[in-house]
Amino acid sequence: MIGVGKAKQYANVLDKPLSRGRQEVSLSAFAFLFSELVQYNQTQVDNIAELERRLEDAGYAVGARVLELLCHREKGNRRETRLLGILSFIHSTVWKVLFGKVVYLITFCIWKDNLYQKRYVADSLEKGTEHEDEYMISEKELLVNHMGAFNCGAFVAGIVRGVLDSAGFPAVVTAHFVPIEGQQRPRTTILIKFAEEVLRREARLG
């Protein structure tokens, strides 16, 4: 019979099952798309701060959707309620799915040198103020910064903020360049500052 063995065609795209999908997307395709996103926003704004805010908003939309998708695919619909839980989810699962570890194929290499740490270090030499509510994700070479001269880390900060907000951990997320001696290019750090209510809830949960 004609049609037997062909994949079932769905009338509505929403009826299609959520498959694994393709694991990888062409880096060049993403680079051009992101470049166009930045250029489009550049024509609409007057200053850098506004551009960063728009990139962050774009990332926020991505983050909200990524959380839903990954909770379904990777975690079997389990919900994170603890601070460290959601942070390790972002740091491992989200980062792995979005940015991945890419081998030397072409000229690109995306180094994943993630370490996230509490802002205050339990080190006797560190005497700065204790910021219990601040966490950092530090990345040596952020993917979106690989092409541009300007800190497009705002986009990634937006993604993180989207994930956190949708998961119930409101926070202010920003991206910063941290110059490191011995390296020509500064390291990008995503700084996450949680809202009061999150910390109170966390303290209550023990």
Partner 1 sequence: MAAIYSLFIINKSGGLIFYKDYGSAGRMDTNDSLRLASLWHSMHAISQQLSPIVGCTGIELLQADTFDLHCFQSLTGTKFFVVCEPGTQHMEVLLKVIYELYTDYVLKNPFYEMEMPIRCELFDLNLSQAIQKDRVSLLGR
Which residues would be at the binding site for partner 1 (CB under 8 A)? 28, 31-32, 34-36, 38-39, 42, 106-108, 146-150, 152, 184
Helix extents (H) in 83-195 = 83-88, 95-98, 153-167
Q: From the CB of 103, what's the least distance to partner 1, in Å?
A: 16
Q: How many CB atoms lie within 10 A of CB 34?
A: 18
Interior/surface letters 104-139, b for 16+ CB within 10 angstroms, e for the rest: eeeeeebeeeeebeebeeeeeeeeeeeeebebbbbb
Least distance between partner 1 and beta carbon 111 (Å): 14
Distance, in Å, from the CA atom of 130 to the CA atom of 116, rounded to the nearest integer, reads: 16
- Cβ of residue 138: shortest distance to partner 1, in angstroms? 20
Nearer Cβ to partner 1 (27/62):
27
State both tokens at 132: 């219990």
Kindly state the smallest distance separating residue 183's Cβ from partner 1, in Å.
12
How many separate helices (H) and strands (E) can be counted in the chain? Answer: 6, 4
Nearer to partner 1, 48 or 61 (CB): 48
33 or 178: CB nearest partner 1: 33
Instruction: Kindly tell me which of 144 and 160 has the beta carbon lying closer to partner 1.
Output: 144
* 3-state secondary structure at position 176: strand
> Least Å distance between CB 109 and partner 1?
11
Give whichever of 59 and 135 is closer to partner 1, judged by the CB atom.
Answer: 59
